[in-house]
Amino acid sequence: MADTYFLRRVFPFLDWAGAYNRQTLLNDGTAAVIVTIMLIPQSLAYAMLAGLPPQMGLYASILPLVAYAIFGTSRTLAVGPVAVVSLMSATAVGAVVGNNGEGFVEAAMLLALLCGGILVVLGVLRLGFLANFLSHPVISGFISASGVLIAVSQLKHILGIHVSGHNLLHLLPSLVSGLPQTNFYTLAIGLVSLIFLYGVRIYLDPLLSRLHVPASWRQFLVKAGPVFAVIGTTLATLAFNLSEKGVQTVGDVPMGLPQLHLPAFDLEMAQALLLPAFIISLIGFVESISVAQTLAARRRQRISPNRELVALGAANLASGISGGYSVTGGFARSVVNFDAGAETPAAGALTAIGIALATLFLTPLIYNLPKATLASTIIVAVLSLVDIKMMREIWAYSKQDFIAMATTIALTWGVGVEAGVASGVLLSILLHLYRTSRPHYAVVGRVPGTEHFRNIDRHDVDTCDTLLTLRVDESLYFANARFLEDQVYAAIAQRPHLKHLVLMCPAVNAIDASALESLGAINERLEAAGITFHLSEVKGPVMDHLKRSHFLKALTGQIFLSQYDAYQALSRQMPTKTGGSSST
């Protein structure tokens, strides 16, 4: 029994493999066909975005999908190359070996192996919580900034000019200086592809719906839009011999499956890629797990984040040894996989078979595929990542979170993707420390006729001259311990008749050693001033820690189960008054 449980934890596919039947295979196969059609042009395009040969995008969509099918816990997550990770890979590898320099391919494979190793280690050690340091505003800002950055970086292929740089400060001047060399045949292909792809994305489904086309066929035709663009522009390039007129094409793509091999290992290169690999791993994991959990919730299924780390690590390791580059779970293809009816990760393995067949037999057909078409595919896909609505909502809700988001966007545009993520994470942590170092606190009183206690500045409540209750709305730790002392001393200085002070702790989830020392200092100073110090509504885990300290023995007052008990015990036979103002 224990062995079976262990095997199911290591190999989650055992949970669904036993119940696999013909209908499940049909559903998975249907989803695989749709995702394969979508994934072929995407894989080629994202490899180009990463600065890699197009076949590497196909290679990264074969063995990694099989690895995820074995180790993944999501039934519908589709793994493969994605835009943001492709951009980050290009930036990381380019910084080490130079753009398209010698060893670029080997370095990209090594980066995938490093990402895989990091993800597996994080999963085995159950360190998935590290991704929590990437706050939602930072992730949202980074993805939006990356969407714009990716779109701008692909304009060179639309214009048919050479552009260099990995941030807007370098890309935009390079684009402007290259405009006179624009190839108008390439520009025409790019604009037509953009208009066609945008039209398919926005207008085709409503049009087909009015024509009473079944929903399954509508979905298929909409997702196959990039394939139609690829076929049309490839035929046009071949028919009009546009490659001789300066239109850049994909060119020769090797036929056949990738050979399994380890990239050349260079210790110095590995050390240089280690930090970017860690950042890429976290970004990819956050993107993947958010998609997986969203889709799982729709079917009331469960995702294990730490096992997902291992599964994504296995997918990246598989990519690194099979001629691919860094991969993760993609939002668009996962939603397509879900909507197409995929029931198990076997749909991903079937998709891998489809990509493998394309690699074996179809690569000669894309020799004349214009790079402008792939660039158009990328631009249309990534502009949906730019979330203006979210920016407005965060601005309205929290100016501090917006600062973190804006900083991430600005540095991603101005410096690069790694600087944007790192600065956003650092600023989020600093803002959190600042907020929690000055926690909200309130003087509270009893709502007349009830056992509830509310802020005297917001409600009409009963208070007592000799009893003061301070409610602190934050855990107590080194950053806010001195602040708490200052607020307590300021409060008692204004109340000459005070006999009892109660610290109300319903929101205190932890008290660290520094805060414990501050509580001890408060207790001593209040005792010297003739004031008894009490606590109320202390949570069980916090109380367990206090019992292991000297504080409870030195405490001059009591610890009350509820603030009402404290009020009843300490204000009995004392005159009360009503204070505060009415508000909602």
The neighbouring-strand residues paired with 463 are 577
3-state secondary structure of 326: coil
Q: What is the pLDDT of residue 543?
A: 95
Tokens read off for 342:
């995929």
pLDDT band for position 22 (cuts 50, 70, 90): confident
Average of per-residue pLDDT across 206-214 = 88
pLDDT band at 294 (very low <50, low <70, confident <90, very high): confident
467 backbone dihedrals φ, ψ, rounded to 5°: -130, 130
Residue 579 has pLDDT above 60, yes or no: no
pTM of this structure: 0.82
> What does the pLDDT average to over 86-100?
86
Query: Of the candidates 369, 295, 508, which has an alpha carbon nearest to the alpha carbon of residue 48?
Result: 369
Q: What pLDDT was estimated at residue 573?
A: 42
pLDDT single digits (tens) 445-498: 999 999 999 999 999 998 888 999 999 999 999 999 999 999 999 999 988 889
Cα separation, 555 vs 582, in Å, equals 35
Amino acid at 320: G
Q: Which of 96, 7, 87 is nearest to 47 (CA)?
A: 87
- Beta-carbon contacts of 231 under 8 Å, excluding residues fewer than 6 positions away, are none
Write down the mean pLDDT value for the chain. 89
Q: Which of 183, 139, 180, 143 is nearest to 160 (CA)?
A: 183
C-alpha–C-alpha distance, residues 152 and 144, integer Å: 13
Q: Tokens standing for 181? A: 């060399």
Position of tokens 């291992």? 310
* DSSP 8-state symbol, 264: P
Q: What are 373's two structure tokens?
A: 């078409």
* Cα gap 8→511, rounded to integer Å: 39
pLDDT at 480: 93
Multiple choice CATH, 441-579, 3.30.750.24, 3.40.50.10860, 3.40.50.300, 3.10.450.50: 3.30.750.24
Q: Which two tokens stand for residue 515?
A: 């805060």
CA gap 158, 525 in Å, rounded:
73
Given a contact cutoff of 8 angstroms between Cβ atoms, the answer to whether 500 and 532 are in contact is: yes
pLDDT of 575 reads: 45
Q: What is the mean pLDDT of residues 171-189?
A: 94
> Does residue 200 contact residue 172 with C-beta atoms inside 8 Å?
no
Burial classification of residue 486, based on how many CB atoms lie within 10 Å of its CB (0-12 exposed, 13-18 middle, 19 or more buried)? exposed
* pLDDT value of position 478: 93
Where helices occur in 299-398 by DSSP H, the ranges are: 305-321, 331-339, 346-361, 371-382, 388-397
Q: Count other Cβ atoms within 10 Å, centred on residue 269.
A: 20
At residue 536, φ and ψ (nearest 5 deg) are -140, 155
pLDDT, average across residues 277-285: 92
C-alpha span between 107 and 270 (Å, rounded) = 8
Count Cβ atoms below 10 Å from residue 350 Cβ, excluding itself: 24
Look-up of token digits 């008749």: 497
441-446 vs 576-579, strand pairing mode: unpaired
pLDDT number for residue 337: 85
Judge whether residue 383 has pLDDT over 90: no
Burial class for 214, CB neighbours closer than 10 Å (0-12, 13-18, 19+): exposed
Residue whose entry in the numeric block shows the structure tokens 């885990």? 541
Categorize the per-residue pLDDT at 119 as very low, low, confident or very high, splitting at 50, 70 and 90: very high
- Give the residue extent of every domain in the chain: 2-429, 441-579
Mean local confidence (pLDDT), 247-260: 90
Euclidean distance between CA atoms 260 and 320, whole angstroms: 9
Task: State in Å, rounded, how far the first CA of the chain is from the last one.
Answer: 58
Alpha carbon separation from 447 to 498, 572, 579 (Å, rounded): 20, 16, 10
